[in-house]
């Protein structure tokens, strides 16, 4: 298949953005936009310096370095037609485990004007009840006491900014591209709390010299499995060690609050606005919440791919009813956005055969996702006496998924929940179903006090165990 090469020479590009978390999403979304933009000669200072902080990033770092940081991105069309791009927007790549000082020096460099982040929802170290930064965390305490030897994203950014200030290298923007409510405000809260606890002078400098725009990001990007690598390379004809694939839909809405300048991203389809709240509410409440809603029941039914689950009429009706009946009353349409069309497109996007997203990816880290995607609207539903039948079922399915780790077909599986606390683990192990409602993920409200919700949920817990997810779901969608 034809591969679209990038329209610029790498050697003419300079890094103006430092990105932390060079995962699949960054490489399919932000790097894609920058790749298009760098074709404009006047934008050549907006290349990306990638930074990985975790030991588990070793493989992607080695693979990208082995191919000059180039990789292919396959954009999978809903019409079955794919397009393959060669992406060269990442100019440099640092792995903090190997060379922490290089990361700090780069944050301090005057040419870097923006730090972007995709460090996952759980990466912001926030309390799930208060949304406050958890200063008591062991790794945070270690970083607070050892500014020169950071290991967390907070320690690295604090020390890098300290060096930057001392060198007089000027202000900088920190742009979160994670799926969080008010991700800019949330990032500001997390970083400034850490920095204020470590160094009051630096905190003052940050207040005057760092901005944190809110942003809404959207493009479904599955994890690339070894089988995907073979499949993608066969189509592209390129022996790529780190290919990425994603859907054809893409959206990026950003608050225009860049203290040290920004790329002309509007030239490549990014929307700038003074308030992204309505966009992020729409996306988190409809797309991300529906993803979570379908993930646990579908997985337990035996599906492993989202597009397969979306061939199941019961799952589709369950998602549609959730969007139309449960969520739409709480989602004002953003300016210029047709909500009915957005919901219709979502069903199409989930069913996209060539994306074939992994349900296990959606199930990953539910403990960090529920507070952001589901709880804000569930609280409103309970307050408004809406019937929470579908959400009660989702939470009963989540309990079953975590507790039994065996699906309706009798197949065992492993869960991936990096942020479960010891208390969460004991609540999952408990045989009293209502104990599960005290999980840290649900603590923004007292679910146990919502009598109708508890009644539905406990019935679903018992029905899922005795009849299986399929039968229970069928009864719900009827
Ligand atoms: P991924 O697993 O491919 O990459 C995750 C990256 O985050 C890795 O580079 C990892 O090192 C880094 N990371 C994780 N925890 C960290 C921590 N505590 N500190 C520093 N770095 C950390 O996942 P992905 O698909 O790239 O998704 C990452 C995030 O992007 C999501 O959690 C979500 O917030 C956002 N996002 C993803 C999608 C998608 O479809 N994949 C869509 C919209 C938004």
119 within ligand 1 shell (Cβ under 6 A): yes
- What value does the mean pLDDT take over residues 261-289? 96
- Per residue in 412-470, pLDDT tens? 999 999 999 999 999 999 999 999 999 999 998 999 999 999 999 999 999 999 999 99
Angstrom distance (rounded) from CA 55 to CA 128:
26
The fraction of the chain above a pLDDT of 90, given in percent, is: 97
Residues 276/333, Cβ–Cβ less than 8 Å:
no
- Per residue in 15-73, pLDDT tens? 999 999 999 999 999 999 999 999 999 999 999 999 999 999 999 999 999 999 999 99
Tokens of 32: 């894609």
What pLDDT sits at residue 454? 98
Torsion angle (degrees, nearest 10) of CA 221, 226, 230, 236: 30
* Ligand 1 atom, smallest distance to 60 CA: 9
Residues 201/147, Cβ–Cβ less than 8 Å:
no
357 within ligand 1 shell (Cβ under 6 A): no
What pLDDT sits at residue 158? 98
1 pLDDT exceeds 90? no
Return the HEC string of 258-282: CCCCCCCHHHHCCEEECCCHHHHHH
87 within ligand 1 shell (Cβ under 6 A): no
Which residue is listed with tokens 């966009």?
279
Query: Measuring from atom 21 of ligand 1, which residue has the nearest CA?
Result: 119
Angstrom distance (rounded) from CA 127 to CA 129:
6
What residue ranges do the domains of the chain occupy? 3-273, 277-477
Exposure string (b/e) for 285-324, b if CB count within 10 Å is 16 or more? Answer: bbbbbbbbbbbbbbbbbbbebbbbbbebebbbebbbebbe
CATH number of 277-477, picked from 1.10.3720.10, 3.30.420.40, 1.10.1040.10, 2.40.50.140: 1.10.1040.10
Ramachandran region, residue 279 (left: φ > 0; alpha: ψ -120 to 50; beta: rest): alpha
- What value does the mean pLDDT take over residues 144-171? 98
What pLDDT sits at residue 267? 98
275 pLDDT exceeds 90? no
Tokens of 44: 């050549």
Q: What Cα–Cα distance (Å) separates residue 408 from each residue in 165, 296, 411, 416, 473?
A: 57, 12, 7, 19, 13
**Interacting residues of 433 by C-beta distance below 8 A, sequence separation 6+:** 396, 399, 457, 458, 461, 462
Going by the DSSP 8-state scheme, the letter that residue 29 receives in this structure is: T
Tokens of 36: 């298009």
Query: Measuring from atom 14 of ligand 1, which residue has the nearest CA?
Result: 119
Band of residue 128 on the pLDDT scale cut at 50, 70, 90: confident
Mean pLDDT, all residues of the chain:
97
Per the model's pLDDT, the better-predicted residue between 1 and 145 turns out to be: 145
CATH superfamily, with its number, for domain 3-273:
NAD(P)-binding Rossmann-like Domain (3.40.50.720)
* Ligand 1 atom, smallest distance to 20 CA: 21
- Per residue in 170-224, pLDDT tens? 999 999 999 998 999 999 999 999 999 999 999 999 999 999 999 999 999 999 9
19, 20, 21, best to mutate for ligand 1 pocket (most atoms within 8 Å of CB): 21
DSSP string, 318-332: HHHHIIIIIIGGG-P
Report the separation in Å between the CA atom of 50 and the middle of ligand 1, taken as the mean of its atom positions. Answer: 13
Residues 288/342, Cβ–Cβ less than 8 Å:
no
What pLDDT sits at residue 183? 97
């Amino acid at each position: 298949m034809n591969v679209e090469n990038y329209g610029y020479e790498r050697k003419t590009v300079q890094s103006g953005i430092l990105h932390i978390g060079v995962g699949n999403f960054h490489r399919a979304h932000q790097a894609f936009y920058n790749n298009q933009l760098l074709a404009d000669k006047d934008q050549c200072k907006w290349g990306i310096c990638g930074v990985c902080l975790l030991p588990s990033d070793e493989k992607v770092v080695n693979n990208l370095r082995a191919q000059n940081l180039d990789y292919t991105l396959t954009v999978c069309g809903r019409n079955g037609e794919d397009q393959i791009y060669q992406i060269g927007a990442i100019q440099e790549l640092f792995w903090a485990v190997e060379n922490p000082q290089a990361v700090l020096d780069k944050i301090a460099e005057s040419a870097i004007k923006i730090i972007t982040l995709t460090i996952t929802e759980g990466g912001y170290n926030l309390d799930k009840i208060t949304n406050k930064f958890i200063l008591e965390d062991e790794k945070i305490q270690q970083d607070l006491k050892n500014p020169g030897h950071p290991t967390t994203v907070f320690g690295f950014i604090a020390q890098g900014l300290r060096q930057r200030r001392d060198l007089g290298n000027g202000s900088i923007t920190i742009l979160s591209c994670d799926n969080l409510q008010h991700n800019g405000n949330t990032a500001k809260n997390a970083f400034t709390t850490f920095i204020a606890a470590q160094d009051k002078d630096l905190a003052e400098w940050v207040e005057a010299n760092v901005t944190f725009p809110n942003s809404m990001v959207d493009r479904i990007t599955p994890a690339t499995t070894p089988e995907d690598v073979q499949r993608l390379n066969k189509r592209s004809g390129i022996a790529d060690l780190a290919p990425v694939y994603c859907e054809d839909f893409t959206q990026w809405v950003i608050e225009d609050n860049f203290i040290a300048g920004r790329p002309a991203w509007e030239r490549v389809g990014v929307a700038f606005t003074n308030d992204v709240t309505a966009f992020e509410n729409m996306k988190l409440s409809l797309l991300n919440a529906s993803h979570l809603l379908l993930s646990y029941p579908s997985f337990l039914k035996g599906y492993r791919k989202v597009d397969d689950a979306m061939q199941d009429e019961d799952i589709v009706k369950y998602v549609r009813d959730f969007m139309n009946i449960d969520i739409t009353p709480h989602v004002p349409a953003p300016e210029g956005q047709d909500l009915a069309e957005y919901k219709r497109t979502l069903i199409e996007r989930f069913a996209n055969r060539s994306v074939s997203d992994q349900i296990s990816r959606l199930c990953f880290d539910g403990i960090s996702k529920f507070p952001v995607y589901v709880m804000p609207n569930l609280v409103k539903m309970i307050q408004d006496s809406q019937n929470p039948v579908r959400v009660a079922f989702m939470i009963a399915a989540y309990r079953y998924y975590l507790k039994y780790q065996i699906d309706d077909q009798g197949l065992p599986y492993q869960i991936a929940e990096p942020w479960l606390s010891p208390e969460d683990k004991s609540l999952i192990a408990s045989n009293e179903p209502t104990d599960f409602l005290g999980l840290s993920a649900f603590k923004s409200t007292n679910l146990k006090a919502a009598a109708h919700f508890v009644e539905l949920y406990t019935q679903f817990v018992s029905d899922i165990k005795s009849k299986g997810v399929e039968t229970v779901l069928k009864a719900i969608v009827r």
